[in-house]
Structure 1
């Protein structure tokens, strides 16, 4: 089942979720690694080029994900979810999306502050807007870094909440996002 239903996520939504998650973790790890590279390190130029290329591909992928999400029905909340859990989940999801896009925009502003475009694996060049504000590279760099840390904190809370639902509440929250179709889907209207 490719599309979402009122009781479960479709395989396209699941694919978008997990590929985004893996890519974001990979970008965070690579970004964390590359900030300490020195000029004489063999990855000094390669790591940022990979980071930028994958980041721009992720941007396009996230735009597709948002369009897909807008066109799909959202599975109903499980009856076991409290009002607080429902509201917190909605807020966290929206903040996660917002952070991802702001982090990517800040990355673009870091990389293009000198007026040069960004090459995606030396195939396509995304043009630069140039410097829009004074100290753009430094300011965008701080925004990129600290929002990435905040994103990782929220992703950790998101994952812990899913594990809490699975192991403590023993509900189908996590099963729905890994594609397990269970016979007894206890859902409620939003």
Structure 2
């Protein structure tokens, strides 16, 4: 399998980035919701948050790589039987997915920065605090981070439903060309 995309299918790098980011986002949701089962301030809760922040840094790094790769390489063509509305919808959902890949980690980073809370990377190092403490802005970015997490679920659901629609109704290769071993 080629590293590069063609006009017919995605290359291995695009597939790797796509699925790695998807897995990271799933893990992120698990870590955030699972931590609520532990008492406030407990070491377990802190461990889940450390991992959440670490994987958030990984997610923004991979998202930036994916954005760069998207714009320097070839993109597979959309199926010819898609209507104009379907093409616009697909482009909009993909734009929103890319936006979400950036908004989620950035709002999390800003929430931590303004709250003067560390952003560890596997406890190897922490991102230095570059912003002054501002609880109001930290709270704003907390709310933005939380609200956008729900929006991301909706956008990803639309993306999955569209892929399944193409596979089961249209019977085209839209889903198959993004599967890891296709």
- Common fold by TM > 0.5: yes
Work out the number of aligned pairs and report it.
181
**Which shows bigger deviation, 147-156 or 104-113?**
104-113
Alpha-carbon contact 1:116-1:127 (below 8 Å) kept: no
Structure 2 SS opposite 1:110: helix
CA distance in 1, matches of 2:139, 2:177: 41
Alpha-carbon contact 1:115-1:129 (below 8 Å) kept: no
TM-superposed CA distance for 1:12, in Å, is 0.7
Matched, 1:3 2:9: no
Gaps of 5+ in 1: 182-190
Larger relative contact order (CA 8 Å, sep ≥ 6)? 1
Aligned position for 1:165: 166
**Which shows bigger deviation, 29-38 or 136-145?**
29-38
Alpha-carbon contact 1:8-1:75 (below 8 Å) kept: yes
Runs of 4+ in 1 over 4 A off after TM superposition: none
Alpha-carbon contact 1:110-1:138 (below 8 Å) kept: yes
What is the RMSD of the two structures over their aligned residues, measured on CA atoms?
1.8
Alpha-carbon contact 1:5-1:73 (below 8 Å) kept: yes
TM-superposed CA distance for 1:3, in Å, is 0.4
Aligned position for 2:108: 107
TM-superposed CA distance for 1:29, in Å, is 2.0
Larger proportion of helix: 2
- CA deviation string 1:114-171 (max 9, x = no partner): 3354220111321122347551221111110110110011101100110011011111
Aligned position for 1:124: 125
Aligned position for 2:149: 148
Gaps of 5+ in 2: none
CA distance in 1, matches of 2:71, 2:165: 27
CA distance in 2, matches of 1:13, 1:83: 25
